[in-house]
Structure formats: C-alpha cells, structure tokens
Chain A
C-alpha cells in the first residue's frame, strides 16, 4: 500500500471517531435487546474460545505462509525466521 493511502487511512480514523462520538450512543436504540442476546453468552459463540490453541495455529500458518495479519489477536512476537 502506498504512503498516501496509509495517511488517508490514519487521518480517516480521527474523523470516524469524531463523527461516532458526536452521536450519543445512548440515543441509539439497540435493535437487539439485552434479553435477546442469550445465545452470545453461550461459549460456542465465542470468537476466540480457545486462545492458547488459536494463537498456536496462527503461528503455524505465519511461519509457512507469505501472508500475515488481521487475525484478530492482540500482540505477540514471532521468531519464525
């Protein structure tokens, strides 16, 4: 990605946040009520049910593929040279 696009990306963020924050989320009526969300409390709906295993599999793939990133994880080093 060229530098111009990257700069546009980072400049867009504060704008997005400013826009988002100027709208009071309290005034937005959630279209799914809290009592309708019980299925998301079920562990099988967790986006990262087994962090130790998923982190390991990301490492397995990262060490053998040219692509990396956007795996939804936090940090982590990779001595996979």
Chain B
C-alpha cells in the first residue's frame, strides 16, 4: 500500500510540475517584449574519437555532430554516438562473470526555433544496447532579457528506459524519468559572466542494476558472507544546483569556475568544483587546463557488508560503488589548433582538437574483495582512469 501511495503522490507532483512548466514555457513564448538579439547556435560539425580506460573497463568509439541552419529561424542538429565497451571491472570480476563486450549506439535529433526574441528547442534521443534501451524527449525555451545581459531558460525532458537482463528473457522492467531545468546567465561586467543552473529529476521504476549484488554476513559460508541481487527503492528524486563564473583576462585568456551541490531522497549529498584556464597561443593555438574535485556521501541503504539479508522489497540493500562514499579528482589538458583549410568558400574556420583527463577515484567504504581477507576488513578500492578525445571541428 505504501509503495502504491508513494507512486501516486509522485505522479501527482509530476503532473503539477509538468502543468506549471508548460504555463511558464507558454508565457515565455507569447509575451511580446522588445528585446535584443537572441541567436541560433553556430553551424558546425564535429567528428570525434573518444576513449575511456580505467578500472578494468575500456570504452571507445566515434561521435558525429552536425548542426545546420535550415532557414533564418530554424537550426537542426543530429548526433550519432557509439560506446564500444569491454569490461572486466571489479563488479564483473567479483560477480564471477568473465570479461564481456557490448555496444551502445545513440542517435539524437534536435531543432531550435528562433521566434521573435525567444529560442524554442525540442529534441529526441534514442540509446540502444543489448540489455538496455532509453528514449528521451526534451523541450526548452530561452530568452534574453534586460538589454541582452540576462538569459533565462527552462527545460523539461521525459525519459523512458527499458531494463533487460542478458541470460534471462523473462526479465524486463521500466524506468520513467522527468527532468526540470532552470538556467540563468548574467553578464555582470564587460569581462565577467555568471551562471546559475537548477535541476530537479524524478525517477520511478527499476533503478538498480539487475546484475549487481549486495553482500551480507553469513557465517555458514566459507567467506563469512553471501550475495544476493540488490534491492532498491522504486522512486528517486534529486535536486542539483550549480553556480559558475567565467572571466576574460586582460591579456586575452579566460578563467572559469563552477560549483555544484547535489542532494536526493536516498541521502546522497555531493559537491563538485571545477576550475579551468584557457590560453590562446599565437594565432592558431588554444590551450586548456582544468581541475575537478568531486565528493559524495553514501546512500542510506548502501553498505559494503550488510549485517542481514533483505527480508522484502522494502528492505533496501545496495553495494553499488556509485552509491558509496567516495571522492574523485581530475586533471585535464587540451589543445586546439586552427587549420588552414578555410580557402574553401563555404568553410569559415576549422580546428583539430585533443583533450585528455586523468581521473583518480578513491572509495571510503567500498572494499576490494578480490584479494580476500577477513570480510568487512578488506582494503579499500581505488582506481585511475585515462580519458581521451580527439576531434575535428568545422564551422560553415
């Protein structure tokens, strides 16, 4: 009964949120205020190769983004993206499974419509892998206000995921996701722009990974613990707020900073801060340097070693390291080189770009149980990841 009531309340709140979102979106689109130039995104194409290598997981593949104005007031963009996954992660190893490979393919299509001083956007994304399917629709509206110094935006997206399990054709479940976004950017001085973003996400459905297990004390077992499939709540609601600033330095360079605070009803609280510096060098080079720190507390139903087995579907249990207490630090470098192929009349400019991030994850209550030892006293897990992007960009 409690689960039904929770779902009913969640649906009522979602209906109200959607209703009020559209009231505001319509207000944005019909209010005739004389403003200044809202502009459509630039026409450009990017071809990227990406590679992630860390924690026994290698994911690489291409991404192709094409954006083109099709009329003075409409811009269309399409993205094709592939993840080729080869995984022997700690989760795979400790589950007793062998290394696996899979492919995720994602297609996105979106349109931006410039109406008077407002940009209305809508898009659709489909993501497919052999045991997971996701469809997302989104709409958003943005408007420049107050002499073009302020940009206000609202966005809503609806996601429908289908969760499946390889080796079990009978298993199939759903997730419904609603995202509500609010954004504000403000030109504060001739060199400083400030941003504020806020997002509510509500999710309902099968939110855990059907392959992952939690462990609990079981003295009858030689390892002193036994494992079972995780048990998660059927709903999750989260809030994230982010503040950022970007400043133009007197010698033509830029610094930026961003802070985000996240909280949800699973008791996860997370902070992350990002700092970056962009430095043009000569006429053709742009160099980037960045640092990111992330820290989170664990979900209330997370435990590295639970004392007892779950007794029913409301007795939640997780041992997903993404729900544990941990921190990560990233250092990123990037270089962009402007190419000299712009003699073609239709090309305005083009560049070749390389970006690399080194990420270190340190877990505070997730143990590396591969080495054995006394249950609950194993060494804590950590791993490093190397993330590469190489891409060619062209503006036309």
Contact = CB atoms under 8 A, between A and B. Distances in A.
Interface of A: 1, 3, 6-7, 9-11, 13-14, 17-18, 20-21, 24-26, 28-32, 34, 36-37, 39-40, 42-45, 47, 50-53, 55-57, 60-61, 64-72, 74-79, 81
Contact of A39 (B190, B237, B260, B264): B190
Contacts of B239: 1, 69
Q: What's the dominant secondary structure at chain B's contact region?
A: strand
Given A52-B63, A53-B389, A75-B110, A47 B185 contact: yes
Contacts of A74: 110, 121, 123, 138, 140, 155
Contact of B263 (A1, A13, A17, A21): A1
Given A30-B147, A65-B296, A77-B159, A53 B48 contact: yes
Given A1-B200, A70-B197, A79-B132, A32 B125 contact: no
Contacts of A28: 146-147
Contacts of B13: 3, 6-7
Q: Which 9 residue pairs of A and B lie closest in terms of their CB atoms, listed nearest first?
A: A30-B147, A75-B138, A69-B240, A67-B262, A69-B199, A70-B240, A67-B270, A10-B20, A77-B136
B134 A77 contact: yes
B357 interface: yes
B284 to A, nearest CB: 13
A39 B252 CA distance: 9
B137 interface: yes
B76 interface: no
22 contacts: A1-B238, A3-B13, A7-B13, A10-B21, A10-B180, A30-B149, A37-B187, A47-B185, A47-B193, A50-B391, A53-B391, A69-B199, A69-B200, A69-B262, A70-B197, A70-B242, A72-B183, A75-B125, A75-B155, A75-B157, A79-B161, A81-B163
A44 B336 CA distance: 11
B185 to A, nearest CB: 7
